[in-house]
Chains A and B, each alone.
Chain A
């Protein structure tokens, strides 16, 4: 087992060191779809989560329960539903999105939107009500006061983005079912791993896993640096 693991680590290092264009394209596709889906989900989910947190409305508790339930939504369910909508016979079949990176992005946005909303809701709900009141009494408009709350909740909001990114870069169901694992087009690190595993290339599969973890590690280090920089009093 040890030699198997060491062999895999060595293979992973060799793959990264050899600047294999195929590998780097797989990493690029993984990062591209993960960035895009995280960006879109954050742009939609942070304001929506914010509104749910600060506004009182009928059905709020039901909505939160639904969002919490959606956290457990399996990727294959999204894959099947996405396929139903994006395939040629589907409602959005004419758009020709199936088996493209954008199909993966759409599926991943559906996957992590509830995550971003729930994390945002949780972060904003914990912020002291006095921040809003203080901003308002100092002359802030509703939007300016909301920005104050967002600033105070920035650690939680960044955690939402980090968690969402971590969720999509590691998922395989959506990328496989909506992306199709097409070499040089929609193949991501996770679908490549699944393929290599099916082929019996365990060393290569594990090596890709190590690459994935390495990329995730650097992404998290980057986000932590951003968090630390903007977390200090300036």
Chain B
């Protein structure tokens, strides 16, 4: 039996559809990363999965039973799930009382509450902060206490909204380790949203790509809005109203396209100068990250676009972060999104 099944789920805010999922199935004991740009519906989906917001349309099944969104029915089920916000908020009391809160509402006695809370704080390395006012913690410390507070509830599912987005590098590593241990040692289902593909690769067995509220394929990072027009007998897609790329078999008008990162070529200015300039787009390298044998390159060509190259290709190109470069799209690089 699947843990979550979402059928024809839509979330609509102020007349705008921000989430539209024909079907999504999540299994118990697995870890899932929700990937996608800002506004792609990751947080909205997490709020539905945490049973905090009912979808405007569609049905949500948890452990095979359809969710009844009336408050009285929800509380017992919600106690099996905990969401840790991107910017967690602490109740204006001490750290340990924050961590005890979930146990208090479940009716545990004070001795059991204190013991469990201290164990949870120990797991995140915050036991020395137990009696400090929670509002005095730094961002990273707050995030760790929020995780301890969630863990103290002994949930079956833990959801994290961009858990490392607003913390320093040191705390990022600590938080990633905590999430990994939650997953491996306790067998808790972990679902988290992130912008970081590497983090997703490290922590999640499954990746779910969202774009403009819809599920997309693994090329989701390069999913772009475009507009197809016919020019000189060819179909041309204008990406984000800035860059023109040839595309085939698409009717004219607005569309969404996937750009295959393997078919995005990058040339240093020296090399590009010796080439025929037609079809080359100026850009700047923003980020280069190693992923196994490959180097992933994030560039700005008027909008962010990702490319991937082998380590050897990267070494030969001599491209570094911050370099001005020229970008070209191989034939077939741009395909209509499913």
Contact = CB atoms under 8 A, between A and B. Distances in A.
Interface of A: 128, 130-131, 133-142, 144, 148, 151-152, 233-234
Contacts of A136: 52, 78
A137 B101 CA distance: 11
Contacts of A130: 85, 87-89
The 3 tightest CB contacts between A and B, nearest first, are A233-B133, A138-B102, A130-B89
Nearest to A234: B93
B89 A137 contact: no
Contacts of A152: 91-92
A138 B89 contact: no
Given A138-B105, A233-B135, A131 B78 contact: no
A148 to B, nearest CB: 7
Nearest to A133: B52
B71 interface: yes
B85 A133 contact: yes
Contacts of B106: 139
B94 interface: yes
A131 B91 contact: yes
Contact of A141 (B82, B105, B134): B105
Contacts of B153: 138-139
B87 to A, nearest CB: 7
Interface in B171-208: none
Nearest to B93: A233
B83 interface: yes
Given A130-B87, A233-B133, A233-B135, A138 B101 contact: yes
Given A130-B85, A137-B52, 4 more contacts: A136-B78, A137-B81, A139-B75, A140-B105
Contacts of B81: 137
A128 B85 CA distance: 13
B35 interface: no
Interface in B99-147: 101-102, 105-106, 133-135
Given A134-B85, A138-B153, A139-B153, A151 B78 contact: no
A144 B92 CA distance: 16
Contact of A234 (B75, B79, B94): B94
Nearest to A141: B75
Interface string B285-318: 0000000000000000000000000000000000
Contacts of A138: 82, 101-102, 105, 149-150, 153
Provide the main secondary structure of the chain B interface: mixed
A162 to B, nearest CB: 20
Given A130-B87, A233-B93, A139 B52 contact: no
Contacts of B102: 138-139
A131 B52 CA distance: 13
Contacts of B92: 151-152, 233
A139 B149 CA distance: 11
B94 A233 contact: yes
Contacts of A133: 52, 83, 85
Contacts of B236: none
Contacts of B82: 137-139
A134 B88 contact: yes
Nearest to A132: B52
Contacts of A234: 93-94, 97
Contact of B89 (A128, A140, A142, A233): A128
A233 B98 CA distance: 11
A132 to B, nearest CB: 9
B215 interface: no
B85 A139 contact: no
A130 B90 CA distance: 9
Given A130-B85, A142-B71, A137 B91 contact: no
Nearest to B97: A234
B9 interface: no
A139 B79 contact: yes
B91 to A, nearest CB: 7
Contacts of B93: 233-234
A148 B91 contact: yes
12 contacts: A128-B89, A133-B83, A134-B89, A134-B91, A137-B81, A137-B150, A138-B149, A139-B82, A139-B153, A151-B91, A233-B92, A233-B134
Nearest to A147: B105
Contacts of A128: 89
